[in-house]
Structure 1
Amino acid sequence: MNLMISSPLTLLGFALVCYLLAALVALAFGATRSGTLLSGLLTLLAAAAALLAGTQILFSPLQPPSGVLTWLHFPVEFSALNALLLITLSLTALFCGLYALPALLGLPAKGRGRLGCLSNLFVAAMTATVVADNALSLLILIEILSLCAYFLIIQQADAKSIRAGLNQFLFSRVGTLLLVAAFAVLFHASGTMQFSELRAWHFSPVIQSVAFLLALGGFGILSGIIPLHGWVPQAHSSAPAHISALMSSAMMKVGIFGIIKIGLDLLGAPPLWWGLLVLLLAAITAFIGGLYALMEHDIKRLLAYHTLENIGIILLGIGGAMVGVALHAPLLTSLALIGGLFHLLNHSLFKGALFLGAGEIERQTGIKDLEKMGGLARLMPWTAISMLIALFAMAALPPLNGFASEWMIYQSLFSFSAGEAFIGRLFGPLLAVALAVTGALAVMCVAKVFGVTFLGTARTPAAANAGPAPWPMTLSVVLLAMLCLVCGIGAPWIIPVIANIAASLLNAPALAGAAHGVIFPGALATTWVSPPLIAVLLLSLPLLPIVLVSLYRGARQPRRVRGDAWACGYGHETAMVVTASGFAQPLKVMFAPLYRLRTLLAPQWLISRVHSGRLAAFCRPLALIELAILLVVVIA
Structure 2
Amino acid sequence: MNYSDLINGALWAFSGSALIAALLAFHKSLSAVVAGLGGALGSALATLAGALALTHGDSALRFTVAALHFQAQLSALNAVWLLTLGLPGLFISLFAIPLHRHRPLKANGWLMNLLLAAALMAVVSANLGILVLMTEIMALCAMFLTGCAQSGKLWFALGRFGTLLLVAACALLWKQYGTLDITLMSQMMVDQPLSLPIWVAGVIGFGLLAGIIPLHGWVPSAHAQASGPAAALFSAVVLKVGVYGLLTFSLLNVLPLWCGVVVALLGAITAFVGGLYALMEHNINRLLAYHSLENIGIILLGLGVGLIGISVQAPLLVALGLTGGLYHLFNHSLFKTTLFLGAGAVWFSTGQHDIEKLGGLGKRMPLISVAMLVGLMAMAALPPLNGFAGEWVIYQSFFHLGNQPQFIARLLGPLLAVGLAITGALAVMCMAKVYGVTFLGAPRTPAAQNACCVPLMMKLSVAVLALCCVAGGVGAPWLLPLLSHAVPLPLATPGTEVSQPMITLLLIATLLLPLAMMALFKGDRLENRTRGSAWVCGYQHEPEMVITAHGFAHPLKAAFAPVLALRKRLNPVALFPGWHGERTGQVFRRMAFIELAVLLVVVISQGA
TM-score when scaled to structure 2?
0.95
**1:204 Cα offset (Å):** 7.7
Q: Distance in 1 between matches of 2:593 and 2:545?
A: 51
The 5-angstrom pairing of residues 231-630 of structure 1 reads 231-264=218-251, 266=252, 268-502=253-487, 505-506=488-489, 512-519=496-503, 530-542=505-517, 544-545=519-520, 549=523, 552-553=524-525, 555-558=526-529, 560=531, 564-565=533-534, 567=536, 570-602=539-571, 605-606=574-575, 608-630=577-599
Determine if the alignment matches structure 1 residue 633 to structure 2 residue 608.
no
Aligned to 2:121: 128
Query: Counterpart amino acid of 2:181?
Result: Q
Determine if the alignment matches structure 1 residue 49 to structure 2 residue 33.
no
Determine if the alignment matches structure 1 residue 189 to structure 2 residue 158.
no
Aligned to 1:158: none
After alignment, is 326-335 or 138-147 more displaced?
326-335
Q: Distance in 1 between matches of 2:190 and 2:586?
A: 43
Q: Per-residue CA shift, 1:258-315, capped at 9, x if unaligned? A: 1111112x1x211110011111111110000000011111100000000000000000
Q: Distance in 1 between matches of 2:175 and 2:573?
A: 41
Q: Distance in 2 between matches of 1:339 and 1:470?
A: 36
Query: Counterpart amino acid of 1:355?
Result: F
Q: Per-residue CA shift, 1:106-144, capped at 9, x if unaligned? A: 2448x31xx022111011100111001101211111110
Q: Distance in 1 between matches of 2:533 and 2:3?
A: 59
The 5-angstrom pairing of residues 66-85 of structure 1 reads 66-85=62-81
The 5-angstrom pairing of residues 135-154 of structure 1 reads 135-154=128-147
Whether the 8 Å CA contact 1:588–1:595 is kept in 2: the answer is yes
Q: CA RMSD in A?
A: 2.0
Structure 1 residues 604 and 192, CA, compared in 2 at 3 Å: closer, same or farther? Answer: closer
Q: Per-residue CA shift, 1:204-259, capped at 9, x if unaligned? A: 88852111100000010000000000000000000111010010011100011111
After alignment, is 479-488 or 614-623 more displaced?
614-623
Q: Per-residue CA shift, 1:541-587, capped at 9, x if unaligned? A: 246437x83xx54x542374xx5456477531223111011110111
SS in 2 for 1:419: coil
SS in 2 for 1:518: helix
Q: Distance in 2 between matches of 1:313 and 1:444?
A: 17
Q: Distance in 2 between matches of 1:459 and 1:443?
A: 24
- Structure ranking higher on relative contact order (CA contacts 8 Å, 6+ apart): 2
Determine if the alignment matches structure 1 residue 14 to structure 2 residue 1.
no
Query: Counterpart amino acid of 1:537?
Result: L
Whether the 8 Å CA contact 1:492–1:518 is kept in 2: the answer is no
Query: Counterpart amino acid of 1:366?
Result: G
Query: Counterpart amino acid of 1:103?
Result: L
Structure 1 residues 194 and 589, CA, compared in 2 at 3 Å: closer, same or farther? Answer: same
Pick from 170, 173, 177 the counterpart of residue 164 of structure 2: 177
Query: Counterpart amino acid of 1:471?
Result: L
Whether the 8 Å CA contact 2:319–2:491 is kept in 1: the answer is no
Structure 1 residues 122 and 208, CA, compared in 2 at 3 Å: closer, same or farther? Answer: same
Determine if the alignment matches structure 1 residue 24 to structure 2 residue 15.
no
After alignment, is 33-42 or 422-431 more displaced?
33-42
Whether the 8 Å CA contact 1:248–1:352 is kept in 2: the answer is yes
Whether the 8 Å CA contact 2:77–2:485 is kept in 1: the answer is no
Whether the 8 Å CA contact 1:126–1:254 is kept in 2: the answer is yes
The 5-angstrom pairing of residues 87-126 of structure 1 reads 87-108=83-104, 111-112=106-107, 115-126=108-119
**1:514 Cα offset (Å):** 2.6
Q: Per-residue CA shift, 1:459-498, capped at 9, x if unaligned? A: 1100110033111111111111110000101100011011
**1:606 Cα offset (Å):** 2.1
**1:536 Cα offset (Å):** 4.0
Q: Distance in 2 between matches of 1:90 and 1:476?
A: 14
Q: Distance in 1 between matches of 2:118 and 2:293?
A: 22
Structure 2: tracts of 5 or more residues without a match: none
Query: Counterpart amino acid of 2:2?
Result: S
Q: Distance in 2 between matches of 1:39 and 1:390?
A: 26
**1:512 Cα offset (Å):** 4.4
Structure 1 residues 531 and 86, CA, compared in 2 at 3 Å: closer, same or farther? Answer: farther
Query: Counterpart amino acid of 2:12?
Result: V
Structure 1 residues 406 and 496, CA, compared in 2 at 3 Å: closer, same or farther? Answer: same
Aligned length: 603
Structure 1 residues 347 and 375, CA, compared in 2 at 3 Å: closer, same or farther? Answer: same
Q: Distance in 2 between matches of 1:439 and 1:62?
A: 36
**1:164 Cα offset (Å):** 0.7
Q: Distance in 1 between matches of 2:310 and 2:319?
A: 9
Structure 1 residues 35 and 284, CA, compared in 2 at 3 Å: closer, same or farther? Answer: closer
SS in 2 for 1:304: helix
Q: Distance in 2 between matches of 1:262 and 1:329?
A: 20
